[in-house]
Amino acid sequence: MKTARQLVEELRRELAEHAHRYYVLDQPTISDAEYDRLFAELSRLEADHPDLASADSPTQRVGGAPRAGFRQVPHTHPMVSLANVFDVDGVREFDLRVKRMLGQGAEAAIDYAVEPKIDGLGIELTYEDSVLRLASTRGDGSTGEDVTANAKAIKAIPLRLRQRVPGAFEVRGEVYLPKAAFAALNRDREEAGEEGFANPRNAAAGSLRQLDPAVTAARPLRVLLYALSTTPVAPGLPATHLELMAWLKDLGLASPPTCRCHGIAEVIATDEEMKERRHRFPYDMDGVVVKVNDHRLQLELGMVSRAPRWAVAFKLPPQEETTTVRGITVQVGRTGALTPVAELEPVTVGGATVSRATLHNADEVARKDVRVADRVLVRRAGEVIPEVVAVVKEARPEDSVPFVFPTRCPECGAAVVREDGEAVSRCPNRRCPAQVRERIRHFATRKAMDIDGLGDKLVEKLVATERVTGVADLFRLGKEDLLALEGIADKSAEKLLVAINAAKERPLARLLFALGIRHVGEQVAKLLANHFGSLATLSQATVEELAAVHGIGAEVAAAVAAFFASDDGRATLAGLDRVGVRAAPAKAVPVTNGKLAGMTVVVTGTLRSMSRDQAQERIALEGGRAAAAVSKKTDLLVAGEAAGSKLQKAEQLGIKIVDEAGFLSLLEGGAK
């Protein structure tokens, strides 16, 4: 019989191995559910045997309570930055300078390493005798912030290196939020009535610099490591950058894809190729980094002020354009949040037409001092909502006046409130027609109660004529109510009433999501529904009981409890109960009208925004059948990263193939 100690050690080893396969090799061999099962087994054993506790156990990733602030930590070696160049001439000059300083002729060919410049957050990890002891941000380069507790919450950062490295080992890289995870996070935040992040970089920064490591843990942050704090040259250590990257992978540390280039012409070709393929990388990339490959040559070249002479960042042209602000409007969301929006003279940025850009909140408008008729710089970063970066002050008309943020709701006239420490101003009037409209609209959306035929225009009319003042009113509508509105025919009125009636039977998770409770996006709603089973049980749950649900944080728990305790929440639930909306217990129902209805779908490779299980669940929810192997019967192949033989086979068979982004847009409601 194995002792508890042996079992615990075995489980820890196994879990670390699976994390490595998932995060570093991109080749998971077990499902998320299986990983969770092993994890639960380890947690149980550790709880039964407190003497076996260990700081590098995966169960210790989210340990301590949130802290009051971050401790400042000096870096043993400054975290330098890179010199930038913006065109091929700049890269050629860099190459010539390198050769001149190394005493080589202009025609010599240097060995370079070329890799993406990841638009994330610089981080330093310090391992001592192979165990993670400290994680710090770049800070001002000399002193950073101690973010160890948060780094430990990031599953992609190993708590122990896979090989023994004696003494202190300081490794540097970039923490980032994968693009797909960023899109999902913003969707969830917007669904929950919160402000989205402007770009993946801000989202990553916001997630890493959290005083509560549980929040960091809930965001699927990744890390790529690309340097040591000093260039290694000792015998037995990697002699080149490429060797170093391979060694880091062996140690269990993910590193960026790096190409070896002989001579500057190869560098330029590789740069072009990488930039062309950049939308395929799971992270935002703001350029390409060119590094002298040989460590001895790196040392010989040394540093100037705060940048190495042996490396250069070849930046991408920014996705920015200038245009004119036609007006500034303020939108009211379903939680009452007021969002200022710049209405722009349409302009093409990075291939897409932009005619509106978010100004985020009152502070942002004031900080940037955006005014009507201003010329502004607009940026579109990847799949992100366009934003106004800055005003071209020199072009400002003389008679321009600063924008005054409304003190009253533009829709209902209620005095706007802004809570201490919040960036968002809100209309406090739950009956505000804009809020009601947005709530009803959300309630009816496909992922919520899925009421077919209840479009935006109709909702607007129903709310404006006060036929609907809350979600329960929808279920009281009669045919005459609908026919009284302009532009609705007999047949469609009947169809709509059938659709509304059918919504009474929606499962609990959908209803919870549909209620638009703050912080309750689709995923949270599912967790709550699965855990509590019924609306009655959930509405009685205490904050502690809510927070004890795996995946539910303190903030979410508080918001849910507050909703069920509020007069509004109670009135809404009582109203829904009266009209017969009882939330069916969650169970699988065959879907015949889903986006993938009747299709056989195979998922291969690694998806960034969801696990394999989640992908299969989504396929099933859309009426498709998830299959394991590609055959002639396959209708669609979803190819994630590092897709292999299944992708080849699908190509041979001429099966339709989509990448992760394509799959997401299919699920979102794009064309089949």
Which residues in this chain contact ligand IVH in the complex, by CB under 6 A? 80-82, 115, 117-118, 122, 174, 226-227, 256, 289, 308, 311, 313
Between 122 and 386, name the residue whose CB sits nearer to ligand IVH: 122
Could you identify the residue written with the tokens 């209708």? Answer: 635
Strand-strand pairing, 143-145 and 72-74: antiparallel
Q: In this structure, how many other beta carbons lie within 10 angstroms of the beta carbon of residue 331?
A: 15
User: Is the Cβ of residue 84 or residue 600 nearer to ligand IVH in the bound state?
Assistant: 84
Question: Cα separation of 258 and 270, whole Å?
Answer: 10
* Angle made by CA atoms 589, 610, 14, in degrees to the nearest 5: 110
In this structure, the chain runs to a length of 672
Output 18 or 117, the one with its CB closest to ligand IVH: 117
Do the Cβ atoms of 216 and 154 come closer than 8 Å?
yes
Q: Six-digit token pair at 635? A: 């209708």
Q: How far is the CB of 385 from ligand IVH (least distance, A)?
A: 24
Compare residues 174 and 387 and give the one whose CB is closer to ligand IVH. Answer: 174
Contact 374, 391 (CB under 8 A): yes
Is there a contact between 378 and 347 (Cβ–Cβ < 8 Å)?
yes
Can you read off the two tokens belonging to residue 145?
Answer: 């912030």
What is the closest distance, in whole angstroms, from the C-beta atom of residue 287 to ligand IVH in the complex? 8
In terms of C-beta density within 10 A (0-12 exposed, 13-18 middle, 19 or more buried), how is residue 102 classed? middle
- Selection from 475, 476, 479, 473 nearest residue 493 by Cα: 479
Q: Which is nearer to ligand IVH, 80 or 366 (CB)?
A: 80
Smallest distance from the beta carbon of 122 to ligand IVH, in angstroms?
Answer: 3
Strand partners, 358: 341, 387
Q: Which is nearer to ligand IVH, 80 or 389 (CB)?
A: 80
Q: Find all residues with CB under 8 Å of 203, minimum gap 6, and list them.
A: 177, 182, 185, 186, 197, 219
Q: How far is CA 73 from CA 134, 205, 576, in A?
A: 9, 18, 55
Alpha-helix residue ranges (DSSP H) falling in 102-170: 148-153
The residue number whose beta carbon is nearest to ligand IVH equals 122
Two structure tokens written together for 111: 């060995």
Q: Is 635 helix (H, G, I), strand (E, B) or coil?
A: coil
Dist CA 604 CA 445 (whole Å): 30
Beta-bridge mates of residue 74: 143
- Judged by beta carbon, residue 248 or residue 503, the one nearer ligand IVH is 248
For residues 525 and 508, give the distance between their C-alpha atoms in angstroms, rounded to a whole number: 8
In the bound complex, what is the minimum distance in angstroms from residue 168's beta carbon to ligand IVH?
A: 18
What residues are paired with 606 via a beta bridge? Answer: 641
What sign results for the dihedral spanned by CA atoms 26, 32, 38, 42?
Answer: positive
Q: Which of 174/411 has CB closer to ligand IVH? A: 174
Among this protein's residues, is 587 annotated catalytic? Answer: no
Q: Report residue 256 CA to chain centroid gap.
A: 19
Rounded to 5, what percent of the chain is helix, strand, coil? Answer: 40, 20, 40
Q: Which is nearer to ligand IVH, 265 or 304 (CB)?
A: 304
Q: How far is the CB of 74 from ligand IVH (least distance, A)?
A: 17
Catalytic residue among 2, 99, 117, 495: 117
Residue 297 CB, nearest distance to ligand IVH (Å)?
A: 14
Residues 6+ apart with CB under 8 A from 6: none
Q: Least distance (Å) from ligand IVH to the CB of residue 377? A: 21
Catalytically active residues are 117
